[in-house]
């Protein structure tokens, strides 16, 4: 009887510890979106449609025209609080890239995400992103 009680206690303790550890592995949570940059590396002008969603609500929408050869535009912190954020960029009404910030960006460390959409010299849309410790003046909501 004593052995059974000890084994039951150990099993419950192991399950409790395992549950706590799995929470630690997934503790990053939603990031802040610090800024989105659009960069034209092509020789000709392009139109970009940019949409930023935070928790399924559109918090920023814009159409940006950039002249050729390395021109860029940056949208910084027109929203507050943590995500989840989904950023979509459409090039000339044709090619679209969608980035789910919490799932897609693994490079870097920190809570603040930065995303860059780039048109290559071959007129292809690509994106990159990284996480850092912030530094820009992004408003935080009271609950985040």
DSSP string, 1-42: -HHHHHHHHHHHHHHHHHHHHHHHHTTT-PPEEEEEEEEE-S
Integer Cα distance of 144 and 131 in angstroms: 17
**pLDDT tens string 12-66:** 444 443 443 333 333 446 888 888 999 999 999 999 999 999 998 999 999 999 9
Q: What is the pLDDT of residue 70?
A: 66
Which has the closest alpha carbon to 79: 139, 31, 135? 139
Q: Are 49 and 90 in contact (CB under 8 A)?
A: yes
Count Cβ neighbours within 10 Å for each residue of 83-119 and write b for 16 or more, e otherwise: bbbbbbbbbeeeeebebebeeebeeeebbbbbbbbbb
CA distance 92 to 94: 5
Residue 7 has pLDDT above 50, yes or no: no
5 — pLDDT class (breaks 50, 70, 90)? low
Reported as a single tens digit per residue, the pLDDT across 59-102 is: 999 999 998 876 888 887 778 888 899 999 999 999 999 999 88
């Amino acid at each position: 009887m004593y052995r059974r009680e000890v084994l039951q206690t150990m099993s419950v303790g192991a399950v409790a510890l395992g549950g706590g550890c799995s929470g630690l592995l997934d503790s990053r949570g939603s990031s802040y979106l610090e800024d989105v940059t659009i960069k034209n590396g092509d020789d000709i002008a392009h139109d970009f449609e940019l949409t930023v969603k935070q928790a399924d609500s559109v918090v920023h929408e814009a159409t940006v025209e950039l002249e050729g050869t390395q021109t860029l535009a940056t949208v910084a912190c027109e929203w507050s609080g943590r995500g989840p954020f989904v950023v979509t960029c459409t090039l000339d009404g044709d090619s679209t890239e969608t980035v789910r910030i919490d799932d897609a960006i693994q490079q870097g460390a920190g809570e603040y995400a930065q995303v860059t959409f780039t048109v290559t010299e071959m007129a292809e849309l690509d994106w990159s992103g990284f996480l850092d410790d912030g530094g820009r003046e992004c408003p935080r909501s009271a609950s985040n």
